[in-house]
Amino acid sequence: MPTLSETHLRNRYRVQPNDANNYETLHGGNLMKWMDELGAMSAMRFSGHTCVTAGVDDLSFHRPVPVGDTVLIEGFVYRAGRTSATVHLRAWRENPRTGETQRTTGSSFTFVAIDEDGDPVSVPELSVETDEERRLREEALEAEN
């Protein structure tokens, strides 16, 4: 049974001019794509199968990320269904010179595990064992409300 910590991933992306909109800030669609990719990797680590996006809950952009800054994305599985895993995702803008961060985005993405034919397959139960895992899971559940 995989633990929440085993699904916890972080990645950074440098915002380049080709990632930007007309205001020279990160295009929201690019951020959503990066969150989707990290979320899928977390779900695949959890399930042991290829995972595809089934849904996105409340994706809100709270502040822009200018060209030249870094986006830090973090995600982890906090709930499992019969064939699905729900991943809590958060993003921050990060000044690459100072490391200063500001929260920009939060959401939950649901992924379905599939086999080689594209048919849904069962996923394991999620194990939440440590105090830190319980804290992260509670934070994700509270964000749903």
Average pLDDT over every residue of 69-73: 98
Distances (CA, A) of 94 to 58, 67, 102, 110: 22, 11, 7, 26
pLDDT at 144: 85
3-29 pLDDT, tens digit each: 999 999 999 999 999 999 999 999 999
Distances (CA, A) of 101 to 13, 33, 43, 126: 14, 20, 26, 30
Average pLDDT over every residue of 53-66: 95
pLDDT at 47: 98
Confidence of residue 125 (pLDDT cuts 50, 70, 90): very high
Asked if pLDDT for residue 114 goes beyond 90, the answer is: yes
Asked if pLDDT for residue 145 goes beyond 80, the answer is: no
| Three-class DSSP category at 43 | helix
Average pLDDT over every residue of 96-119: 97
Percent of the chain surpassing pLDDT 70 = 100
Asked if pLDDT for residue 112 goes beyond 80, the answer is: yes
Q: In the chain, which residue ranges form alpha helices assigned H by DSSP? A: 28-47, 131-144
Distances (CA, A) of 106 to 54, 91, 93, 94: 17, 6, 12, 15
Name the pTM for this structure.
Answer: 0.95
Confidence of residue 131 (pLDDT cuts 50, 70, 90): very high
Structural domains in the chain?
5-144 (3.10.129.10)
Say which DSSP state 117 is in: T
pLDDT at 140: 96
